[in-house]
């Protein structure tokens, strides 16, 4: 089918005993691929928006009848999507939408999905269309973990074209690791869908266990220019608000100072209610002891 997908439909498949069946299969494949692209375009660009959408098609076999809409710049990757993604990551390019399809390798679709998320190859609110998700339990588990974490949301379930569309949420930032990065990319092992940090100790088997492949850590991705400009704008707005409040504080302090100068202090000391006058004429009690006794009484002034 890959050989026929690269051929032109205008040329008849002469000499093949099942030419009609092959043509029918190719037409169904082209229709499904076109429907997936149309769905992705409809979700990424609502009606009325005229901006251009950059989409990368990582599907292994794309028929010639798949046509991109006018406002979509579709880049067909070809036979080596991994090298294409590495080149785009080195150049700092980001796509608004990516189409990932099933392939012959056991975990190549999972590796492509992880490479897209780890290298930050999607723009803010970018979309990913996954075809043949029911054929890979590991990829379905990765998508489920990412949507449960709140960093991605499901925009369209399994449609007639067999594609599932997920989109990054506003909580995702460049460099934030996805929850699915804790999974080992081995569909055949028992621990393929268990996080590496939560594995329980199991009894050692007689046969030596094969070493697990090392999972590459997520590369730190710097903030984009748009995010930096938004952060600077918020900082300038906060500083401007503080400078706007400063004259009001100076005015209030000036009014309080003038009031104090014109009308005096607000609080005045009150006079005691009771006064005690002591006349010392002599005798055994000295003047000092009489004064001390009078001062010791509460509420009296000597």
List, for residues 102-140, the tens digit of each pLDDT value.
764 444 888 888 888 888 888 888 888 887 777 778 888
Closest CA to 180 of 201, 166, 170: 166
CA distance 219 to 118: 6
Residue 36, Cβ density class (10 Å: 0-12 exposed, 13-18 middle, ≥19 buried): buried
pLDDT, mean of residues 58-72: 63
**Under 8 Å between Cβ of 39 and 75:** no
- Is the CB of residue 193 less than 8 Å from the CB of residue 178? no
What is the pLDDT, as a whole number, of residue 9? 44
Contacts of 137 (CB under 8 A, 6+ apart): 187, 193
CB 62 within 8 A of CB 18: no
- Cα–Cα distance measured from residue 225 to residue 129, given in angstroms and rounded to the nearest whole number: 26
H-run or E-run covering 44: helix 19-44
Task: Using DSSP, state whether 142 is helix, strand or coil.
Answer: helix
Query: In the prediction, which pLDDT does 235 show?
Result: 94
Task: Identify the band that residue 149 occupies on the pLDDT scale cut at 50, 70 and 90.
Answer: confident
pLDDT bucket at 225, cuts 50 / 70 / 90:
confident
Instruction: Please give the DSSP secondary-structure letter assigned to residue 182.
Output: G
Q: What is the mean pLDDT of residues 47-58?
A: 72
Task: Kindly report the backbone phi and psi dihedral angles of residue 190, in degrees, each rounded to the nearest multiple of 5, phi listed first.
Answer: -70, -25
pLDDT at 279 over 90: no
Confidence at residue 238, expressed as pLDDT on a 0 to 100 scale: 94
Decide: residue 26, CB within 10 A, 0-12 exposed, 13-18 middle, 19+ buried.
buried
Q: Which residues are registered as beta bridge partners of 122?
A: 95
CA distances from 219 to 78, 84, 95, 176, 177 (A): 25, 17, 18, 10, 9
């Amino acid at each position: 089918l890959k050989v026929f997908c690269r051929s032109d439909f205008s040329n008849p498949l002469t000499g093949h005993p099942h030419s009609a069946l092959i043509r029918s299969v190719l037409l169904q494949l082209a229709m499904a691929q076109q429907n997936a692209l149309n769905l992705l375009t409809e979700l990424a660009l609502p009606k009325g928006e005229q901006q251009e959408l950059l989409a990368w098609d990582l599907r292994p076999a794309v028929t010639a009848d798949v046509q991109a809409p006018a406002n979509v710049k579709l880049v067909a990757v070809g036979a080596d999507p991994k090298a294409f993604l590495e080149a785009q990551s080195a150049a700092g390019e980001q796509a608004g939408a990516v189409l990932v399809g099933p392939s012959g390798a056991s975990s190549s679709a999972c590796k492509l999905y992880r490479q897209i998320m780890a290298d930050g190859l999607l723009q803010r609110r970018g979309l990913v269309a996954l075809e043949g998700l029911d054929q890979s339990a590991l990829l379905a588990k990765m998508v489920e973990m990412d949507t449960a974490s709140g960093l991605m949301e499901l925009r369209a379930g399994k449609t007639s074209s067999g594609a599932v569309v997920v989109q990054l949420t506003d909580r995702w930032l460049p460099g934030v690791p996805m929850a699915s990065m804790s999974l080992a990319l081995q569909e055949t092992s028992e621990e393929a869908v268990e996080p590496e940090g939560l594995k329980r100790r199991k009894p050692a088997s007689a046969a030596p266990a094969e070493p697990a492949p090392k999972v590459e850590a997520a590369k730190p991705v710097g903030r984009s220019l748009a995010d930096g400009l938004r952060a600077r704008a918020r900082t300038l707005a906060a500083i401007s608000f503080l400078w706007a409040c400063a004259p009001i504080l100076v005015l209030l302090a000036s009014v309080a100072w003038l009031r104090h100068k014109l009308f005096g202090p607000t609080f005045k000391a009150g006079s005691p209610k009771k006064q005690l006058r002591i006349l010392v004429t002599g005798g055994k009690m000295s003047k000092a002891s009489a004064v001390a006794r009078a001062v010791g009484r509460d509420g009296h002034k000597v």
